[in-house]
Structure 1
Amino acid sequence: MILTVHHVTTYEYDAPMRGAVQSLRLFPSRFDGQRTIRWDVAVEGGLRGGNFRDGAGDKVEGWSLRGPVSEVTISAIGQVETTDTAGVLRGHREIVSPFAYLRETSATWIDHALRDLAETAVTGVKEPLDRAHRLSRAVSDAIAYRPGTTHAHTTAAEALAQGEGVCQDHAQALIACARAVGMPARYVSGYLFAREDGAPHEAAHAWAEIWVENIGWIGFDPANECCPDARYIRIGSGLDAHEAAPIKGIAQGDGSERLDVTVALEAVQQ
């Protein structure tokens, strides 16, 4: 499948800022399941800085803007060819040990409810791949997909207690559950062309990857009850949503900030 992406993020300030710095993780991953045909990332009025590929294999690029700054517009526009690898991350080069992803964060802190959910899901199941699938199914059943019911700082434990959330909550809850039973897991940011049932869905999407012994990293999307396929574009990863965020930045000044994001995906060829 060939997918075109048009992703624009705009920050508006009610008072001019003295300057801004942005760290962007907005570049498609390089692995057997996707090939970048063309891709351009830009910050309007900004100065492009250095870039590097981190230990997890993600490309990161820095940008800066000199003030006065009233608005920052970041765009990622391009075309990616994807193939279905059944969620398996083949051919992705990284140097971080999978076991580094057993580390908890505040967003994926494992409370008693998450631990109980995980242990119940895999009781009597020894095969690692089966355990991963059962964990994903348990999270899907426990947290209903309902946009607008949580916020950016909702933790996995809070989402489970609430019983509803969005893809970020599903991903972080699955990560916590996997770590609770000793399986390394991480958060993945990217794009999704459409939901499994064809219903409308936020194009900017998130899911989890679990390290499965003798196979490697495998993606699981509890929000859609499937593994990532050709409808998904993988961008970056991290311990949780904050670490894997496609855009991180800071602006110098006293003005308040307003954020607007638009993401559009179109299938050019299937």
Structure 2
Amino acid sequence: MRVAIDHRTRYRFTEPQARVIQLLRLTPLDSIDQTVVNWHIGVDCDARLREARDGFGNRVTMLYCEGPLDSIEIAVEGEVLTAGEAGVVRGTVEPLPPEVYVRATDRTGVSRAMREFAGEGGDDRLARLHQINLALHHRFSCVEEHHDRGLTAEQAFAHDAVSPRDLAHMLVALARSEAIPARYVTGYLAGDEGAHAPHAWVEAHVDGLGWVAFDPCRGISADERHVRVAVALDAAGAAPVAGMRIGDGDERLDVEVQAEAMGAGE
């Protein structure tokens, strides 16, 4: 499938800023299942961009803007060819062993209520992951959320309507509680008419298959509609935009994403 993406992030400041520094995880990597046809990051002010890789193997772009700045817009445009084979992730950059992704973080702890909800599973790790993924999908309504409220998996579990980010944290937490390596994934979901924010899902490691992608927001494995951008232990490590500013006042953040399926890849 050919997926066209337009992702715009706008910051507006109540007071001029002397300097803005951003770390951008906005560029997907080539793998067996996706090929970046073209990709461009643009900024509406004088800026320096520097490419690098983080410890998880993600492509990152450091952005440096000197003020005074009343606002800044980061515009990402590109096209990606995607494929998919039952959610199996193939040909990705893997600088870390799967065991790293068993470690819990502050946002991926598991409460007693979560354990009771998940119940018990058998020895078939793949079947167990599908079971939990589908259970989360049926239990919660999935709603779009532009801003990260910083909820932990336990806190999100107390709500009826949660974001894709929250569902991903819950699935990661439950998988790790059973010693299954699991990581948080951020990217784009094509063809979802109501989506105007980046999407989130999970990859879990299964012996004999490797990493397998699950989307609890949809209740199925991730497929060719998903454009994979970054992975980490939780949302903080895979946030599309993170950084700092030097200046007084408050900021307003607006995010808009369009991910359109253009048809079969060529």
TM-score for the superposition, normalised by structure 2: 0.93
Whether 1:177 and 2:177 are equivalent positions in the alignment is no
CA-based RMSD of the aligned residues comes to 1.7
Question: Is the CA contact (8 Å cut-off) linking 1:6 and 1:75 kept in structure 2?
Answer: yes
Partner SS, residue 153 of structure 1: coil
Partner SS, residue 134 of structure 1: helix
Whether 1:158 and 2:138 are equivalent positions in the alignment is no
The match for 1:269 is 263
The match for 2:187 is 190
Aligned length: 263
Counterpart CA distance in 2 for 1:108 and 1:43 is 34
State the Cα distance separating 1:167 from its structure 2 match. 0.6
Question: Is the CA contact (8 Å cut-off) linking 1:114 and 1:176 kept in structure 2?
Answer: no
Counterpart CA distance in 2 for 1:61 and 1:236 is 12
The match for 1:100 is 100
Partner SS, residue 108 of structure 1: coil
The match for 1:234 is 228
State the Cα distance separating 1:226 from its structure 2 match. 1.2
Whether 1:259 and 2:259 are equivalent positions in the alignment is no
Counterpart CA distance in 2 for 1:108 and 1:213 is 22
Question: Is the CA contact (8 Å cut-off) linking 2:185 and 2:238 kept in structure 1?
Answer: yes
Question: Is the CA contact (8 Å cut-off) linking 1:31 and 1:90 kept in structure 2?
Answer: yes
Question: Is the CA contact (8 Å cut-off) linking 1:3 and 1:81 kept in structure 2?
Answer: yes
2:190 aligned partner, one-letter code: F
State the Cα distance separating 1:15 from its structure 2 match. 0.5
Question: Is the CA contact (8 Å cut-off) linking 1:188 and 1:235 kept in structure 2?
Answer: yes
The match for 1:78 is 78
The match for 1:29 is 29
State the Cα distance separating 1:19 from its structure 2 match. 0.5
Residue range with higher mean Cα deviation, 138-147 or 5-14: 138-147
- Stretches of structure 1 that go unaligned for 5 or more consecutive residues are none
Whether 1:246 and 2:240 are equivalent positions in the alignment is yes
Counterpart CA distance in 2 for 1:99 and 1:112 is 24
Whether 1:214 and 2:208 are equivalent positions in the alignment is yes
Counterpart CA distance in 2 for 1:266 and 1:64 is 30
Counterpart CA distance in 2 for 1:97 and 1:116 is 30
Whether 1:138 and 2:132 are equivalent positions in the alignment is no
The match for 1:115 is 115
Task: Summarize deviations over 1:124-173 as a string: whole Å, max 9, x none.
Answer: x111111111121222233222446x952122111112232111111000
Question: Is the CA contact (8 Å cut-off) linking 2:4 and 2:261 kept in structure 1?
Answer: yes
Counterpart CA distance in 2 for 1:24 and 1:232 is 19
State the Cα distance separating 1:201 from its structure 2 match. 3.4
TM superposition outliers: structure 1 runs of 4+ over 3 Å: 199-203
Question: Is the CA contact (8 Å cut-off) linking 1:192 and 1:202 kept in structure 2?
Answer: no
The match for 2:15 is 15
TM-score for the superposition, normalised by structure 1: 0.92
1:61 aligned partner, one-letter code: T
Counterpart CA distance in 1 for 2:162 and 2:63 is 32
1:209 aligned partner, one-letter code: E
1:250 aligned partner, one-letter code: M
Counterpart CA distance in 2 for 1:259 and 1:233 is 23
Question: Is the CA contact (8 Å cut-off) linking 2:140 and 2:162 kept in structure 1?
Answer: yes
In percent, how many aligned pairs have the same letter?
35
Partner SS, residue 104 of structure 1: coil
Question: Is the CA contact (8 Å cut-off) linking 2:196 and 2:255 kept in structure 1?
Answer: no
State the Cα distance separating 1:267 from its structure 2 match. 2.3
1:201 aligned partner, one-letter code: A
Counterpart CA distance in 2 for 1:49 and 1:74 is 12
Counterpart CA distance in 2 for 1:80 and 1:215 is 24
Taking a change above 3 Å as real, the CA distance of residues 167 and 68 of structure 1, as seen in their structure-2 partners, is same
